[in-house]
Amino acid sequence: MWSFARSAVRAYRSSFIGSFLIVMSAAALLSANGVLMESGLRGDAPLLTTVAASFAGTAILVVVLVVASTFASALRQRNAQFALLRAVGATPTQVRAMVTAEVAIVFALAAPLGAVPGLFAARLLTPVLESGGIVPGGFELAISPLPVVGSLFLLFPTALLAARLAAREVTKASPTAAVRGASVEPSSLSGARRTTAVALLVSGLLVAGTPFIVPGTLGSAAGATSAFLLISAAALAGPAVVGMIARRAAHATRSSSNAAVMLALVNSRGFSRRLTTAIIPLALFLALGTVQTGVNGSMVDAAGMQLRAGLGSAVVITSADGVTTEQAAAVASTPGIDAVVASSTVPAEVKVDSDEDLGGLSWEQTGLRVVSGGMSGLVDVGVTAGSMDDLTGPSTIAVSSESLFATGKGVGDTVELRFDGGAEVSSTIVAVYDRGLGFGGYIIGESSLPSSDREAAADVLFAQGSADLAPIGLQTVSVDDYVDETVAGAASQQELGAILLFVLIFFLAVAAANTLVMLTSARRPEFVLLRRIGTTRRQLASMISVESVFVMVMAWAIGTLSVIPALVGVAYGMLGGFSPAIEWPVYGALSGAVVLITSAATMVPARIAGRARNR
């Protein structure tokens, strides 16, 4: 069986090369993320663990869909071979064993070639991690075999299950029925597949409405996952949907004299399963980039809106080196300045779980906004419970409603804080507020800081009034300019997320192009037959062009429709509006990439195959 599997790999090397590249890329992606996760856990870097875990959720979902789609596509093209084996006496068990052996051969070669470099490629992110404040300077990433083993445990069962399902139609039928059905694709869906698709569709629409019930970051993040549920529903229902649309298009153009158009639409109708495996990766490519950038952009915009709405000061006073205590006192006594609120951010950790067995996972890294002198009517954080006037007492804290979500805590309860020096403080909640994106999740008074941190310089002063502060080394900016600068800084802090997103999108682009190349290359006998019966190269090129346009439109439509419910919910939860939170330049670039990938990955292989002469 193993020798037969090796022969099949050599004979169908074009399909296996595509699967090899996807496995190698997926293993590299997962092992690199595993290094970040393990380093965060071992090195007591909770923020790194949080970032890696957040990315892992999306990455695993994408990788599983892509790997399963790739192997299913590669194995489905060989149904005729499997049917022939059944006809000459091979049992279903032998066919399944051969499929298992082929998948094992690909993984034995591809997974190490991807996973091992991925371990060391993660170190390229160290400068970004340090500049973003995710890890301290000099932090060393942990390198061990665990990420490699984890990626294999995830990828191999996924690929094996997809391959077995692809060959299931042949192995479960009798030998004669297998041969008879190998040349056509069934157009109908099984009852279980239809039910699952409908369930995913309904679940996706319901999840997209989460921000209408739970506004803010948490609701929007949950609502954004609806895009993946809808894409999964489209993947399951794709053959039926693609076949129906192609059938109606063929019916509408039945009077056309253009044979290439009619042939392309009939092909699309008859091989809807084949086209679905090409359409879904492209749709996922468009959806992932659109929804992630939409959520990130909405968070930054919402932070700016909350900050601008909450600042009642006339000016903001800053200094390149921070505002010292002496300078703050001088500003407060300057004629023309009526009130001053000093504000700074102090790194700390907040205890999010009382289970001591979790170790470092019980604490979450955060930034505490420290204010001195009270709010003085200059800062409005949108208090919903309690009073900010009580923040002047020792060991008191104000917490945003999002930070308290699902904790069961409120005014009068306590929050455990741990500062860089190791000091732990139990602070009493005296106020709950809404504008957490703009002002941070936690606010404390200067008297609640450990004594070692109380003399630190303030980041900014919010002041009411106006005066020339240049003589004491300070500068004033308007509230609008300060908000714009803060929003720009917040956008730049998403550098790591942008890099990880780019890597994932690039992986999807490679996967989509690879699938299209595999599918088009596998049609060489079809192109040869068309040439032998008199089809010209121009007609063949026209047919492929129409099919490419069909794939583009379907991928664009599925990708776009899958993100609209999510981004409408995100816009409402973050910004209070109903216009989809789409970053239009990014959406336009991704749409253009869909066109480019589809054109290049179909026309080039088809042109090469179409050069075969009638002989």
475 in a structural domain: no
Percent helix, strand, coil in the chain (nearest 5)? 65, 15, 20
Domain match, 300 and 338 both: no
- Residue 340: which domain range? 315-465
472 in a structural domain: no
Among 6, 65, 53, smallest CA distance to 283 is for 65
SS (H, E, C) 547-576: HHHHHHHHHHHHHHHHHHHHHHHHHHHHHC
Cα first-last separation, the chain: 36
Domain match, 29 and 171 both: yes
477 in a structural domain: no
Positive or negative torsion for Cα 434, 438, 439, 442: positive
Contact between 281 and 512 under an 8 Å Cβ cutoff? The reply is: yes
Angle, CA of 352, 492 and 284, to the nearest 5°: 80
Q: pTM for this structure? A: 0.82
Domain match, 41 and 159 both: yes
178 in a structural domain: yes
Measured between alpha carbons, how far is residue 8 from residues 18, 98, 99, 397, 450 in Å? Answer: 15, 9, 10, 67, 69
Residue that finishes a domain, picked among 184, 206, 236: 184
Domain match, 451 and 348 both: yes
480 in a structural domain: no
94 in a structural domain: yes
Domain match, 121 and 1 both: yes
DSSP-assigned beta bridge partners for residue 379 = 311
Q: Looking at residue 172, what is its pLDDT?
A: 66
Q: Looking at residue 559, what is its pLDDT?
A: 94
Question: What are the backbone dihedrals phi and psi of residue 464, each rounded to the nearest 5 degrees, phi first?
Answer: -110, 125
Written as one letter, the residue type at 36 is: L
Where does 354-423 show beta strands of DSSP type E?
363-372, 383-386, 396-400, 414-419
Q: Looking at residue 609, what is its pLDDT?
A: 58
470 in a structural domain: no
Q: Looking at residue 130, what is its pLDDT?
A: 79
Residue that finishes a domain, picked among 411, 435, 465: 465
DSSP 379: B
Distance CA 1, CA 262 (A): 43
Contact between 454 and 446 under an 8 Å Cβ cutoff? The reply is: yes
Cβ neighbour number for residue 208 with a 10 Å cutoff: 26
Angle, CA of 103, 56 and 361, to the nearest 5°: 130
Q: Looking at residue 613, what is its pLDDT?
A: 46
Domain match, 304 and 319 both: no
476 in a structural domain: no
Q: Per-residue DSSP letters for 283-343?
A: HHHHHHHHHHHHHHHHHHHHHHHHHHHHB--SEEEEEEEEE-HHHHHHHHTSTTEEEEEEE
Domain match, 142 and 12 both: yes
Domain match, 223 and 175 both: no
364 in helix, strand or coil?
strand
Residues contacting 470, CB < 8 A, separation 6+: none
State the total domains in the chain.
3
Domain match, 267 and 329 both: no
Contact between 479 and 380 under an 8 Å Cβ cutoff? The reply is: no
Domain match, 402 and 520 both: no
Q: Looking at residue 615, what is its pLDDT?
A: 44
Domain match, 17 and 75 both: yes
Residues contacting 180, CB < 8 A, separation 6+: none
Domain match, 352 and 453 both: yes
Tokens read off for 229:
């549920």
Q: Looking at residue 192, what is its pLDDT?
A: 86
Residues with pLDDT less than 70, the chain: 1-15, 44, 80, 132, 167, 169-187, 256-257, 354-361, 373-374, 376, 421, 452-457, 490-494, 608-615
Q: Looking at residue 93, what is its pLDDT?
A: 80
Positive or negative torsion for Cα 88, 89, 93, 94: negative
